[in-house]
Amino acid sequence: MVSNFKIGCLDNLSLEGFNRTKNLIFRSLSIENQAMVTTRVRIVVFLFIFIGHLQVLAQLPVKIAKLKYGGGGDWYANKTALPNLIKFANQELGLNLAAEEDIVETGSRDIFLYPYVYMTGHGNVVFTDADAANLRKYLMAGGFLHIDDNYGLDKFIRIELKKVFPELELIELPFDHPVYHQKFDFPRGLPKIHEHDGKPAQGFGLFYEGRLVVYYSFECDLGNGWEDPRIHNDPEEKRQQALRMGANLLSYCFTYTF
């Protein structure tokens, strides 16, 4: 287990070769074994870390992705959000994430190439049976899905998650969960970024075999807080809270989700 290995210890580490490692592993596996890619990728990365930061990990940046789902909802919302979060995480955590996210469809096997997948929107979400099966395999294999309710997603995503993990229930994370205590400390849990109807921000999770595989930020709008300042005119303090919480999620993804 590396659950006590915080990414704060990796501030000077270059992860540029992460994608090359992922692609090599992906090509080397049969289709039947591709569900294991994400876990194997992380294991290889941490082996390189402990061996001594070998030069092979100094070529290409790490890629994260936004989820393109069916149903007509605006999966493409918050277009400036992830690039801003990436820039912040690179500066604050010493990561080397690619400057812009990729787009990956729920049913695509390419999803296994991304250790962190972000999902947002305001409206309808539909997972086909094939989508749900693929997403389940990805999460069981070590993937991490961050669902960010952009206000209006909740009644749809809860139904669709049941297709992915019918045996699991969304659980509100306690304030002492490690996701709130990475480099940035959030003693009261998920910060409230946008008010909407005044309800408190809540962070929910799906746990598979004791591992957090889905984090669901509800009544918060983290992604809006990551956007360019001119878009929502958020106070800088709110924007910093959103970026710090997002950085914590990336930190947790890379260090706790084996």
Record the tokens describing residue 94, joined without a space: 């010493």
Residue 237: what pLDDT?
Answer: 93
Residue 21: what pLDDT?
Answer: 41
Distance CA 28, CA 58 (A): 21
Cα–Cα distances in angstroms (integers) from residue 121 to residues 31, 77, 97, 153, 154, in the given order: 31, 6, 23, 6, 10
Distance CA 80, CA 253 (A): 21
pTM reported for the whole predicted model = 0.81
Please list the pLDDT of the chain residue by residue as tens digits (258 residues).
333 323 333 433 334 334 434 443 444 354 455 555 566 556 655 555 555 454 554 567 899 999 999 999 899 988 999 999 999 999 999 999 999 999 999 999 999 999 999 999 988 999 999 999 999 999 999 999 999 998 889 999 999 999 999 999 999 999 999 999 999 999 999 999 877 777 899 999 999 999 999 999 999 989 999 999 888 788 999 999 999 999 999 999 998 755
Spatial CB neighbours of 47, under 8 Å, sequence gap ≥ 6 = none
The residues that bridge with 147 in the sheet, in sequence order, are: 119, 216
Residue 233: what pLDDT?
Answer: 82
Residue 20: what pLDDT?
Answer: 37
Q: Which of 175, 133, 101, 182 is nearest to 34 (CA)?
A: 133
Residue 44: what pLDDT?
Answer: 56
Q: Residue 182's Cα: distance from chain center in Å? A: 14
Domains, in order of start, for the chain: 7-256 (3.40.50.12140)
DSSP E strands, the chain: 65-68, 102-105, 116-121, 144-149, 171-172, 202-208, 211-218
